[in-house]
């Protein structure tokens, strides 16, 4: 069940990976409902700052002297 909940492949052999079925949602919900995850507030994405960061990162990129990156146009 642990591999199923975390998105990993089940088992080490062909039988477990191919023929073993997932646990029923009713069986796994007992464990998922116990989780208490605190997430920080998420700030609104600032697209202008994001584009500036991409442009800055591409300017520092060192793939070679003739590297050309197409990032579209920025106003």
Domains of the chain, residue spans: 1-64
Tell me the torsion sign for CA atoms 24, 28, 29, 32: negative
Place of tokens 């998105």: 7
Tell me: the pLDDT tens digits for 34-73? 888 888 999 999 999 999 998 888 877 766 666 666 666 6
- Kindly give, in sequence order, each residue whose CB lies less than 8 Å from that of residue 27, ignoring residues fewer than 6 positions away: 1
- Per residue in 32-70, is it b (16+ CB within 10 Å) or e — as a string? eeeeeeeeeeeeeeeeeeeeeeeeeeeeeeeeeeeeeee
* pTM of this prediction exceeds 0.95: no
Q: How many other C-beta atoms are found inside a 10 Å radius of the C-beta of residue 12?
A: 8
Predicted confidence band at 24 (pLDDT cuts at 50, 70, 90)?
A: confident
């Amino acid at each position: 069940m642990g591999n199923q909940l975390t998105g990993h492949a089940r088992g080490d052999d062909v039988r477990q990976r191919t023929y073993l079925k997932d646990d029923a949602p009713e069986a796994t919900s007992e464990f998922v409902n116990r989780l208490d995850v605190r997430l920080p507030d998420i700030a609104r994405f600032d697209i202008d700052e994001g584009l500036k960061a991409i442009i800055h990162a591409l300017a520092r990129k060192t793939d070679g002297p003739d590297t050309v990156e197409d990032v579209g146009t920025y106003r």
